[in-house]
Amino acid sequence: MGKWQTLFLTGLAVLLSLMTWFSATAVLPDLTMVHDLTAGQAAWLTNAVQLGFAVGALSASILAVADIWPLTRYMATAAVLACFANLLLLIDLGATGAIVARFVTGIALAGVYPSAMKFIATWFKTGRGLAMGAMVGALTLGSAMPHFVRGTGGTVSWEVVVLVCSLGSAAAAVLFGWVLREGPHAFARTRVDLRQVGQILRNKPVMLANLGYFGHMWELYAMWGWFLAYAGYAATEGIGLTNASLLTFAVIAAGAPGCLLGGWLADRIGRCRTTILMMGVSGASALLIGLFFGGPLWVFILIALVWGFTVVADSAQFSAAVSELSEPHLVGSSLTFQMGVGFTITILAIWLTPLVAAWLGSWQWTFVMLAPGPLIGAVAMHLLYRHPRSVLMANGQR
């Protein structure tokens, strides 16, 4: 099997497994009624996945799981766990049980996504930015798919949405476990060493790339997680929007081609320049969309689509940078550390967003709170660009 076929199949497996991420968010009004959730409990159906992912990723980083276990076996096991944890939503477990199920789903997905980034790097030494961009594009489409199923299904019940997403993760497990194999550029295996986190923290170029990623993550999942609510409230302002779910799908899915463009661009002009450009546009979108909360509709949709395109277009480049700047035997641990801390940051951003909306008395200007993230991230990537070791990225393009 060649590297491009592997890239396609790995992307397909990531897409299918990541459908479980927002499966509850896409049917949140139904789950709120079924489980009689308070507003805080409803928010935790989304946030519990973030928390589970953070816990899973940080634990995997400390234990070097992705640098010890065979990657395909690890990803297949994690995809199976995500399938069964997501299916628990179909059982009346009450509010606490549903939140715990989402937490376990997040832990499972921490075994899929960071590992897939390392896995695809074993197939690509050149063109790694594009390959990792394809992985994040697959994550983006997978995250958007529950909204698509709900938005285009008409009378499709929330149970069908959950079931479809769970079956997708089961199919991903088959691809990971029985079809895919590591590439010719495999990284060195390592052993458990609790001091390796200290090695990651002392690597200044890696930590600058991480800081860029942390700023990016402050914006990304709060936007993805709350755009459906934002668009829904805009519809009540008379903007003329008739299908908030379908628009949410389009906005999140727009990030998939954005990731491919970001990867292609990063391999040609450098990871730092590309991430700075994308964060500049996405941060500006967070500031501008509130101006058109009441219309005209076409401008609101245009800004939303541009934001969806750019908000995740740079995501893979932070991972690619870490894979190039880390010590070879710590690549898996460095990636899971980056994502573990990054997703911990998303918990705070997701939790604060509706509180800010309540404090302001409207969703109109709520997304302004996300703009400092890409600003901080852009500054960090500018500092990385000036660092001598940045020449290790993108074949010297930095």
Q: List, for residues 129-149, the tens digit of each pLDDT value.
A: 888 889 989 989 998 899 888
pLDDT tens for 346-365 read: 989 988 999 999 999 999 99
CA distances from 309 to 46, 140, 262 (A): 22, 10, 10
Helix, strand, or coil here: 166?
A: helix
Query: Is the C-alpha dihedral spanning 236, 237, 242, 244 positive or negative?
Result: negative
> What are the structure tokens assigned to 356, written together?
């800010």
DSSP of 8-76: HHHHHHHHHHHTTTTHHHHTHHHHHHHTT--HHHHHHHHHHHHHHHHHHHHHHHHHTHHHHS-HHHHHH
Q: Tell me if 113 sits within 8 A of 312, measured CB to CB.
A: no
* Overall average pLDDT of the 323-341 stretch: 80
- Angle (CA) 308-312-313 rounded to 5° is 100
The whole-number pLDDT of residue 194 equals 55
The whole-number pLDDT of residue 252 equals 93
The whole-number pLDDT of residue 195 equals 63
**Mean pLDDT for the chain?**
89
Does position 6 have pLDDT exceeding 70, yes or no? yes
Q: How many C-beta neighbours within 10 Å does residue 5 have?
A: 12
Does position 114 have pLDDT exceeding 90, yes or no? no
pLDDT tens for 231-287 read: 989 988 778 888 888 899 999 999 999 999 998 999 889 999 999 999 999 999 999
Give the type of residue at 379.
V
CA distance 198 to 41: 36
Q: Tell me if 197 sits within 8 A of 62, measured CB to CB.
A: yes
> What are the structure tokens assigned to 315, written together?
């995501």
CA distance 131 to 133: 5
Query: Is the C-alpha dihedral spanning 43, 45, 46, 47 positive or negative?
Result: positive
Domains of the chain: 3-182+192-396 (1.20.1250.20)
pLDDT tens for 17-52 read: 999 998 998 888 888 888 888 877 888 888 899 899
Quickly tell me which residue has 């302004």 as its tokens.
Answer: 368
